[in-house]
């Protein structure tokens, strides 16, 4: 159980450090507004899966391009993390696009559309009932 908690702590620390490093230190004009949404670290601390989202951008080509930039910067980011966090071994960084935010927004808008459609249908039914009473 102790090992699991350590990986969580390391993941949280990596998430905080990477968020700052990506924003301030990765100087690549192709990189959009990247947010580090989660980091999961393997039990042996050999690798860390870094999940990122892109603010306002979900076009597949932009996602691929941003992931390419981050993967190219992985070595640099690891070396910076090694200076900031006291770890015997800094995990290898593997970047992934976190679709959960985009998926959540899509679901939310679908729900909003369904609710609005339902309201409109009920308003139409109420309107037609009123007309029927006047006859």
pLDDT at 67: 96
C-alpha dihedral sign at 4, 49, 89, 20: negative
Distance of CA 118 to the CA centre of its chain: 31
pLDDT in tens, 95-122: 999 988 778 878 888 999 999 999 988 8
Q: Assign a CATH topology to domain 2-98.
A: GMP Synthetase; Chain A, domain 3 (3.30.300)
pLDDT level of residue 132 (50, 70, 90 thresholds): low
- 41 near 91, Cβ under 8 Å? yes
Q: Where in the chain are the domains?
A: 2-98, 99-135
- Integer Cα distance of 79 and 58 in angstroms: 29
Parallel/antiparallel/unpaired status of strands 92-97 and 34-41: unpaired
- Integer Cα distance of 40 and 98 in angstroms: 12
The tokens describing 6, both together, are 């350590």
pTM (2 decimals)?
0.76
Residue with tokens 């941003």: 66
């Amino acid at each position: 159980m102790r090992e699991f908690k350590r990986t969580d702590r390391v993941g949280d620390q990596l998430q905080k450090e990477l968020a700052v490093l990506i924003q301030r230190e990765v100087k690549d004009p192709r990189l959009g507004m990247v947010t580090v949404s989660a980091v999961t670290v393997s039990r042996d601390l050999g690798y860390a899966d870094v999940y990122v989202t892109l603010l306002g951008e979900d076009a597949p080509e932009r996602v691929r391009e941003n992931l390419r930039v981050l993967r190219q910067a992985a070595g640099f980011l690891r070396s910076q993390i090694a200076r900031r966090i006291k770890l015997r071994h800094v995990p290898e960084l593997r970047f992934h696009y976190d679709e959960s935010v985009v998926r959540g927004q899509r679901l939310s808008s679908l729900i909003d559309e369904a609710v609005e459609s339902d309201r409109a249908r009920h308003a139409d039914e109420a309107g037609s009932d009123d007309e029927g009473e006047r006859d």
